Amino acid sequence: MHLLGKSVVVATAAAVLTLGAGALPVATGATWSNGSTAATPSAVVPLPIARTRLTTTLVASGLVAPVLVTSAPDGTGRLFVVEQAGRIRTVLGGTVRGTYLDIRRLVNSGGERGMLGLAFAPDFATSHLLWVTYTRADGALVLARYSVTSTTASAARASSATTVLVVPHPGHDNHNGGYIGFGPDGYLYLGTGDGGGGGDSPNNAQNVRSLLGKMLRLNVRCAGHLYCSPSTNPYASSATARHEIWMTGLRNPWRWSFDTNGTQWIGDVGQNAYEEINSVPAASAKGRNFGWSCREGLHSYRPERCRTGVTYVSPVLEFCHPDSVSGCAAKRAAEAIIGGFVYRGAAFPASRGTYVLGDYVTGHIWAYRNGVLTPATNLPGVSGFGLDRHRELYAVTLSGGLYRIGFRSS
């Protein structure tokens, strides 16, 4: 089984229910925001997407199974690369400069488990806080907070660890999700997998008493608490549903991102036939249902789980598994989708507004805009994308490479 799990075994475990929601405090609003604003309109003529090709330039090598790259609002220009085993490495000027955090002793790594997420506080320059996610010994997904002594410190303090939230994940080692990021509203979002196995046997993704198969939305700066559930969450006043839930019906949202306008782009890894990319504007995101396991992509999967009166989000992009779908076109073939980012940088102004994504199994990366997908560029083993402080785009490969992503006209 590969990193993201093309599941072929149907799970038989009983339904997994997490603790009830009633004990969690409800927030009235975030105490701060990340200051994101929509990109300034540009007079540059967009590069025709049909003529766009992605380029890859090796920035650094020698990393050990990296799964994501990101930056911090610290003014240093550093990139932070998360290695699956539980280390965060810093890269500056094309050189791996050191280890920012090492929690390998806490992390249960291997297969799809490991250190899976990293997010710096939007006000990191003053708060000096960051959050990570990882799988621990019993398979549970842990959201933990760390701190640094100064904005430009060379390392975070391992002793500052505070466990914020634990999502139980018993029975299977795959479909952990785990990516985290702050939205323009200042809240921390956490994507969780459906609990693993195949076919979501317990129906976790549609069960609002479970945190599995969801997009969670948390106020992690809630006075007197490690986190609160915002009062604007769809189930914030429910006596039975988990208050942390923002959206439901996800299988394994391994990688996702926010555009500057608040639109959330989610790469949801499919079962054994279809992969999907979802795009949800901020104004219509609350309580949305992506359909798993009633549907896989645009197709019926377990119709007995479809509910009358429920509107399911349709993906903006669907890919097919060539070994499972007859007639699957090579240009739309994928088996473990890697959600990416909308490009808003300055180096390629004609490509602003273009979404970049990839696939771990085929090693393809694409650009997408206005319903058109470019021909693929090869980047074998791509495992995650990320942005630097100028919103320039990067990717990492499981073999240890960090790459700058660019655009050219064919």
Does an H or E element contain 124, and which? helix 124-127
DSSP character string of 125-181: HHH-EEEEEEE-TTS-EEEEEEE-SSTT-SS-EEEEEEEEEEE---S-SS--EEEEE
- For the record, the structure tokens of 24 come out as 């969690």
On whether residue 35 sits in a domain, the answer given is no
On whether residue 360 sits in a domain, the answer given is yes
Where are the extended beta strands (E) located within 219-351? Answer: 229-230, 245-247, 255-258, 264-268, 274-280, 295-296, 299-300, 317-320, 337-342
On whether residue 19 sits in a domain, the answer given is no
In this prediction, residue 50 carries a pLDDT of 87
The domain tally of the chain equals: 1
In this prediction, residue 38 carries a pLDDT of 39
- For the record, the structure tokens of 230 come out as 């915002």
Average pLDDT taken over every residue of the chain: 91
On whether residue 358 sits in a domain, the answer given is yes
In this prediction, residue 165 carries a pLDDT of 98
On whether residue 248 sits in a domain, the answer given is yes
Residue 160, domain CATH: 2.120.10.30
> What residues make up the domain containing 277?
44-409
Positions of the chain with pLDDT lower than 70, given as ranges: 1-43
Strand order in the sheet with 402-409: 52-60, 402-409, 393-397, 382-387
In this prediction, residue 179 carries a pLDDT of 98
In this prediction, residue 92 carries a pLDDT of 98
**Measured CA distances, 90 to 63, 130, 391, 397 (Å):** 10, 15, 17, 16
- Whether the CB-CB separation of 44 and 352 falls below 8 Å is answered with yes
| pLDDT (tens digit per residue) in 192-202 | 999 999 999 99
Distance from C-alpha of 167 to C-alpha of 142, rounded to nearest angstrom: 6
In this prediction, residue 206 carries a pLDDT of 98
In this prediction, residue 7 carries a pLDDT of 40
Output phi, psi for 60, to 5 deg.
-155, 155
On whether residue 31 sits in a domain, the answer given is no
| pLDDT (tens digit per residue) in 102-145 | 999 999 999 999 999 999 999 999 999 999 999 999 999 999 99
Does the pTM surpass 0.75? The reply is: yes
On whether residue 376 sits in a domain, the answer given is yes
- For the record, the structure tokens of 343 come out as 């490009």
pLDDT > 70: percent of the chain: 90
On whether residue 2 sits in a domain, the answer given is no
In this prediction, residue 36 carries a pLDDT of 36
